Amino acid sequence: MINIIDYEMGNLRSVEKAFESLGFDVRISADPNDITTADKVVLPGVGAFRDCIHHLRDGGFVEPLLDHVNAGKPMLGICVGMQMLFDESEEFGRHQGLGLIPGKVVRFPSGMVENGERLKVPHMGWNNINIQQPSPIFSSIEDECFVYFVHSYYCEATENHDIAATCRYGEVEFCASVWRDNIMATQFHPEKSQAVGLNIFKNFGEL
């Protein structure tokens, strides 16, 4: 059973439909107790880090989620769901994350220019990633494949060995995916990344 955490801040139905299309047993649940019976957990996230981490804590999800990770069961974070794995974020002040991946979440600098044109923030749309580590979710995924991003903040990992893939936007080469033991996460949205995203979900579901 793949449990998608419903803490009122995620793109839940699209993720659920992707797993269902691949034939996996999946549920969306707002009950923290359902994490304890799940084989795998997906932590999605849309919006601001501050709001997401507050909803996650207020909903009582943090302790069962950490127990799931400590038990060695697979977990997949998506977008802000990846950012919350880090120590802290500077979005709307400083806010503490889950502390599962050392590092912090920072904003893209303003005024970035590429080929003479000013780059917009948020970073939105298709961009290619460079695979740095053989994360299980990247099995059979080609290097420099294109995936879909929507974000104004990005993760700075303290340890390079936690970085599974990178992406460049303007002058910034940022962490596009992390992998540490049973923890996997993407800054991009697999549910919006067509065939590549479905392959990532397939790899996760088959772990």
Two structure tokens written together for 23:
């034939």
What whole-number distance in Å separates Cα of residue 5 and Cα of residue 27? Answer: 9
CB 85 within 8 A of CB 121: no
Active site residue 189: yes
Q: Residue 109, preceding bond cis, omega within 30 degrees?
A: no
Of the residues 52, 123, 145, 191, only one is catalytic, namely: 191
Of the residues 52, 68, 79, 151, only one is catalytic, namely: 79
Of the residues 68, 95, 151, 189, only one is catalytic, namely: 189
Task: Count other C-beta atoms under 10 Å from residue 142's C-beta.
Answer: 12
Three-state secondary structure string covering 182-194: CEEEECCCHHHCH
Q: Which residues are catalytic?
A: 79, 189, 191
